[in-house]
Structure 1
Amino acid sequence: MKRIEAISIIAREADSQGALLVGNIGYPSRELFAVGDRASNFYMLGSMGLASSIGLGLALALPKWRVIAIDGDGAVLMNLGTLATLADQDPDNYLLVILDNGCYGSTGSQPTCTSRRADLAKLAVGAGVSEVKVAATAGEVRSDMAKKGVLVVKVEIGNADVPVIELSSEEIIERFMARSAPSSPSS
């Protein structure tokens, strides 16, 4: 499955759940913007490795909201501590989706450790995450999007030909804050 296909499924599921959605930096955020821009999406334009932490912070600060974060294998490898913190806090309203293509896709597709021996699902289990799933097909991704914890999605190497995000970082944060400011999604 191509990464943009997985992102498209995640975006549709997040929209149907009324969830806040945090997108990883680089091409994953660009692909998310291209397939399903909405005010409830927060696009990372910097801070590699922190989409998972930002998503977890949102889930803890806004417990009435469903929060989904999309991160990449390289980004999570840069911030493995987020898995232990996720396990420790164990929020029911948070799902971390790790798109694992075995490379740093936005910087030239240099291989990550997951292309060889590292296994992010096993690392999440070892960190104590209560629910960890692995998906490789569109159907598996769809069926696991209502869960909490960590979902590792195996995707092919390659970036979709999508334009850069046409919003400034200020516009992204302002519209996201306006959308998530109410204490509940129905407000």
Structure 2
Amino acid sequence: MKQAKAFEILSAYAQSQNALVVSDIGSQSLWLKAAGDRDENLYLSGPMGMASSVALGVAMANKDRLVIAACGDGALGMNMTSLATISHAKPSNLIVVVLDNGIYEFTNSLPVPALGVDWSKISETYTGFESTVDLGEIEQLDTKNGPHFVHAPIEGGELPPGPGVHPVDVHHRFKKLLSAHNVKNSTKQQC
């Protein structure tokens, strides 16, 4: 599957679920932005491999919202311990999506060390994940009973379109969105 198509599917699903999406630095953020920039998207900058960890924190702090981590295979390979932490914490509102093209897109398409890893089998070894599916089956997930792992095999070698969003702007708009959401929820609880 082409990357643009994978991100169209992921973005449409996120919008239909009003989900918060945390994407790894690099091509995942640019492809997600191109598929549909929204305030609910948090495009990470800085160290690779942190989308799954940050998404776990966002999911635990926002238990009433579905949270999706969009991870590249190379990035997730740098932080596989996050899968153990997610498995242990068992946030019911988290979906980890690994976009698997076997290369580091931004570094001249160098092969990732995790080339040939069977991501579905990796996720199944962590007993806390409720299910492991391919991207085409994402609509079938029970979003109230997670966490879930989604494997998305994609074609590599195609650079994402356009420039990204400035990290400070992303931080401010995501923080504003969560603050407004939390104020609304605390008002409901007081009534």
TM exceeds 0.5? yes
1:162 correspondence with 2:161: yes
Distance change (3 Å), C-alpha of 1:19 and 1:100: same
* Whole-angstrom CA distance in 1 between matches of 2:75 and 2:102: 11
Q: Using the TM superposition, give the Cα deviation of residue 101 of structure 1 relative to its aligned residue in structure 2, in angstroms.
A: 0.8
- Matched-pair contact (CA < 8 Å) for 1:66–1:93: yes
Q: Structure 2, unaligned stretches of length 5 or more?
A: none
* 1:41 equivalent in alignment to 2:38: no
Kindly provide the CA deviation profile for residues 112-154 of structure 1, in whole angstroms up to 9, marking residues without a partner as x.
Answer: 24433x2222222213232242426xx4344459563211111
Identity across matched positions, percent: 34
RCO higher in structure (CA 8 A, sep ≥6): 1
Q: Are 1:140 and 2:137 counterparts? A: yes
* Structure 1 contact 10–142 (Cα < 8 Å) conserved: no
TM-score (norm 2): 0.86
Distance across 2 between alignment mates of 1:172 and 1:35: 16
Distance 1:173 1:75 in 2: 21
Q: Distance in 2 between matches of 1:106 and 1:185?
A: 40
2:18: which partner in 1? 18
Letter of the 2:31 partner, please give it: E
Q: State the AA in 2 paired with 1:149.
A: H
1:26 maps to a residue whose letter is G
Any residues of structure 2 matched to 1:110-149 within 5 Å, and which? 110-116=110-116, 118-135=117-134, 139-144=136-141, 146=143, 148-149=147-148
| TM-score, normalisation: structure 1 | 0.88
- DSSP 3-state at the match of 1:46: coil
Read off the aligned partner of 1:96 and give its amino acid letter. Answer: V
CA contact (8 A) 1:103 1:109 kept: yes
RMSD of aligned alpha carbons:
2.1
Q: How many residues align?
A: 183
Residue 49 of structure 1 contacts residue 71 of structure 1 at CA under 8 Å; is this kept in 2?
yes
Q: Which residue number in structure 2 is paired with residue 107 of structure 1?
A: 107
Deviation, structure 1 residue 110? 1.4
